[in-house]
């Protein structure tokens, strides 16, 4: 019998996994060309030819629009700022509600707050982890204006159901597709499944420019408002002849020429990088499926999954040990990943804690000490952020789901065999785990 590493036995593997890396010679050369040109950014924050940025920015926007199959692509300096542009463009403001997901990176829910609107959390689907259409519909009030959906882990949201709810209630849908570039549903790419899509180009994403983001839409009016918010709207509207001043407060969300040049190289690599991830996840799915308590991710009919994160379910009743005890024991068998040593093994119980459990929502303190915009003269609703409002998200996070990143390039199929061996070893020796389950909070 092999002793589990968590009980002092030998680990399945000591040698760190290779650092995540998608940058090569093409990017280096593209950056040098921009540096040689001397034009590191060419934006002007006034109504002028350069209001829309320099040549590399415009080139990336054209390429991205072509790739996704959409009329407008608008580069920004992050997906977070892209989400802020998108919410601002819809005209949302004080007193309005925006339906958001609780199970996502925090920016997808915070975007409404930037415009003093109130985020309302709908629950997620138990199989695909995206917003549940029935729960979304139940959250709609006369104050609802926008739904922000998330293609979580790289799986497209249920666009048919949610778009039909949105059309019925005259709501705009913003698709946070930060985790799903290149995925799609029924022949359409992510980003085009809602009214506005927002991608991320931060270092952790499938392709990146260090920091960066791209917004896409087919709607001319929304596109122009987003370009204004990106670049000092209030200083531009008069000369440009814009008369609707709602939310025409500008920011500086501009991408540099260097980032845009890297982005063009990266976009060309996206399909290849995606297929590496898909193959790695298929390998893991096939082998981990042999462990009776583990369920690999399901994919909705007609959808493709881009596997930003590999999310699987663990059934503690079948196993006779809790998810947390099992996963902690698997972690103990595996090494860290180079350049991210301090984070430990890139395997976790759950994903991001349901967002409404953050202090900002629990205490309802965002702007000033008196609860604005959750309470105050503009807002006639009474938003609920108590534990229990999204039972599926809570069950997934605290009991069933586990997620890992050990499928990102340049991980090899031999590396993946070590990961499978760790899961299998702990499964076969799970009687060594304590009979007192620990539960994460």
Ligand X SMILES: *Cc1c(COP(=O)(O)O)cnc(C)c1O
Residues at the contact surface with ligand X, assessed by CB under 6 A: 78-80, 104-105, 107-108, 150, 176, 178-179, 200, 202, 213
Q: Of 170, 145, 52, which is closest to residue 90 (Cα–Cα)? A: 145
Residues in Cβ contact with 248 at an 8 Å cutoff, skipping those fewer than 6 apart: 225, 228, 229, 233, 234, 237, 242
Report, in Å, the least distance between residue 198 CB and ligand X.
Answer: 8
DSSP-assigned beta bridge partners for residue 72: 217
Q: Which residue has the tokens 């990961």?
A: 419
Closest contact distance (angstroms) between CB of 107 and ligand X is 5
The least distance separating ligand X from the CB of residue 263, rounded to whole angstroms, comes to 12
Nearer to ligand X, 37 or 202 (CB): 202
Among 340, 308, 331, 287, residue whose Cα is nearest residue 440:
331
- The distance of closest approach from Cβ of residue 104 to ligand X in the complex, given in angstroms and rounded to an integer, is 5
- For residues 216 and 332, which CB has a smaller minimum distance to ligand X in the complex? 216
Considering Cα of 225, then 131, then 108, then 56, what sign does the dihedral take? Answer: negative
**CB nearer to ligand X: pick between 79 and 99:** 79
Beta bridge partners of 294: 314
Closest to ligand X by CB, 202 vs 316, is 202
Question: Of 162 and 291, which has the nearer Cβ to ligand X?
Answer: 162
Please name the residue ranges forming H helices in 1-78.
25-37, 55-68
What contacts 243, CB < 8 A, 6 or more positions away?
A: 237
Residue among 41 and 75 whose Cβ is closer to ligand X: 75
Nearer to ligand X, 182 or 213 (CB): 213
DSSP letter at 314 equals: E
**CA pair distance 400, 397, nearest whole angstrom:** 7
Q: The tokens of 339 are what?
A: 């350049």
What is the rounded CA–CA span in Å between residue 52 and residue 46? 10
Question: Alpha-carbon dihedral of residues 320, 284, 209, 33, nearest 10 degrees?
Answer: 160
Nearer to ligand X, 205 or 425 (CB): 205
Strands 118-121 and 97-100: parallel
Helix (H) or strand (E) holding 417: helix 413-428
Residue listed under structure tokens 């070893």: 425
Tokens encoding 143: 């104050």
Min dist. Cβ of residue 239 to ligand X (A) = 30
Of 146 and 319, which CB lies nearer to ligand X in the complex structure?
146
Least distance (Å) between residue 286 CB and ligand X: 26
CB of 78 closer than 8 Å to CB of 202: yes
The nearer residue to ligand X, 299 or 352, going by C-beta atoms, is 352
CA torsion through residues 303, 306, 308, 314, sign: positive
Q: Report in angstroms how near the CB of residue 85 gets to ligand X at its nearest.
A: 12
Provide the minimum distance between the beta carbon of 48 and ligand X in the complex, in angstroms, as a whole number: 27
Only one residue has tokens 């921009």, namely 34
Instruction: For ligand X, give the closer residue by CB, 150 or 390.
Output: 150
Cα dihedral 207/87/117/134 (nearest 10): -80
- Shortest Cβ distance from residue 367 to ligand X (Å)? 21
Distances from the Cα of 347 to the Cα of 129, 151, 202, 357, 401, angstroms: 18, 20, 20, 22, 11
Least Å from the CB of residue 147 to ligand X: 15
Please, what is the minimum distance in Å from the beta carbon of residue 257 to ligand X? 18
């Amino acid at each position: 019998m092999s002793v589990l590493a968590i009980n002092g036995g030998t680990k399945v593997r000591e040698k760190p996994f290779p650092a995540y890396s998608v940058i090569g010679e093409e990017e280096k050369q593209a950056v040098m060309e921009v540096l040689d040109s001397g034009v590191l950014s060419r934006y002007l924050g006034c109504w002028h030819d350069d209001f829309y940025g320099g040549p590399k920015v415009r080139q990336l926007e054209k390429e991205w629009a072509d790739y996704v199959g959409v009329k407008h692509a608008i580069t920004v300096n992050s997906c977070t700022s892209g989400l802020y542009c998108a919410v601002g463009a819809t005209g949302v403001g004080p007193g309005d509600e925006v339906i958001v997901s609780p199970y996502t990176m925090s920016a997808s829910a915070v975007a409404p707050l930037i415009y003093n609107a109130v985020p309302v959390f709908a629950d997620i689907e138990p199989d695909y982890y995206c917003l549940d259409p029935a729960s979304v519909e139940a959250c709609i009030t006369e104050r609802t204006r926008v739904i922000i959906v998330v293609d979580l882990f790289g799986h497209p949201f249920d666009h048919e159901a949610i778009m039909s709810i949105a059309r019925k209630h005259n709501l705009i849908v913003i698709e946070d597709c930060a985790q799903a570039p290149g995925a799609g549903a029924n022949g359409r790419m992510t980003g085009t499944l809602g009214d506005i899509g927002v991608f991320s180009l931060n270092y952790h994403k499938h392709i990146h420019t260090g920091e960066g983001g791209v917004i896409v839409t087919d709607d001319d009016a929304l596109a122009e408002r987003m370009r204004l918010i990106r670049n000092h709207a209030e200083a531009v509207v008069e000369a440009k002849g814009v008369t609707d001043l709602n939310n025409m407060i500008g920011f500086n969300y501009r991408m540099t020429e260097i980032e845009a040049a890297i982005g063009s190289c990266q976009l060309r690599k996206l399909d290849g990088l995606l297929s590496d991830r898909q193959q790695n996840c298929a390998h893991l799915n096939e082998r981990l499926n042999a462990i009776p308590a583990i369920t690999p991710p399901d994919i909705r009919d007609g959808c493709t999954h881009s596997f930003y994160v590999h999310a699987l379910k663990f059934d503690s009743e079948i196993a006779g040990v809790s998810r947390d005890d099992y996963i902690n024991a698997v972690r103990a068998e595996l090494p860290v990943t180079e350049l991210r040593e301090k984070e430990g093994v890139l395997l976790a119980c759950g994903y991001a804690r349901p967002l409404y459990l953050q202090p900002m929502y629990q205490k309802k303190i965002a702007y000033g000490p008196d609860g604005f915009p959750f309470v105050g003269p503009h807002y006639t609703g009474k938003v609920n952020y108590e534990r229990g409002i999204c039972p599926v998200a809570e069950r997934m996070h605290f009991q069933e789901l586990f997620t890992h990143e050990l499928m990102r390039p340049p991980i090899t199929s031999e590396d993946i065999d070590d990961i499978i061996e760790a899961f299998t070893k702990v499964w076969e020796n799970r009687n060594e785990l304590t009979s007192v389950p620990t539960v994460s909070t």
